[in-house]
Amino acid sequence: MAIIALDMTSRVPIFEQINRRFIELILKGVLSENDQLPSVRSLALDLGVNPNTVSRSYAELEKSGMIYSISGRGSFVAKKDEKSIHEFLLSDFDFAITEAVHAGFDEQTLVEHLKNKIEEVSKND
């Protein structure tokens, strides 16, 4: 019952996928304030990845203020900050928008493209 599905073949680094997934779980309320995260070792075992990878993910989550760690006790979900969560989750989206605008696409085209793509993605679920 892994909460996290990794795509090992993706070009997105594994630690980044783990980051995203935890942040999504916090956003959706699956994980609430002060909930304990799995230990680095157990999650690494669970996901079949190197413990260092999970470590890096937790370190980044802590640096962004999403989780906090208590030495010898573990890692826990911090107070939810919707704004920074949104910012994080939409950072790729923001980057892509900037890129598209610079490429010369106008608002109408992009909105239309967005709607089509959302429909397409939703169907494939």
Partner DNA sequence: GTGGTCTAGACCACG
Nearest alpha carbon to residue 40 among 72, 7, 81, 66: 72
Half-sphere exposure in the Cβ direction for 118 (13 Å, CA): 7
Task: Write down the least CB distance from residue 40 to a copy of itself, Å.
Answer: 17
Interface positions with a copy of itself (CB under 8 A): 8-9, 11, 13, 20, 23-24, 27-28, 68, 70-71, 73, 76, 89-90, 92-105, 107, 110-111, 113-115, 117-118, 121-122
Q: Identify which of 112, 95, 85 has the alpha carbon closest to the alpha carbon of residue 23.
A: 85
CB 47, min distance to a copy of itself, A: 14
Q: How far is the CB of 83 from DNA (least distance, A)?
A: 24
Positive or negative, the CA dihedral 14, 19, 22, 24 is negative
Question: 75 is in the binding site of which of DNA, a copy of itself, none (Cβ under 5 to 8 A by kind)?
Answer: DNA
Please count the CA atoms within 13 angstroms of the CA of 111 that sit on its side-chain side: 3
| Residue 65 partner contact from DNA, a copy of itself, none using kind-dependent CB cut-offs of 5 to 8 Å | none
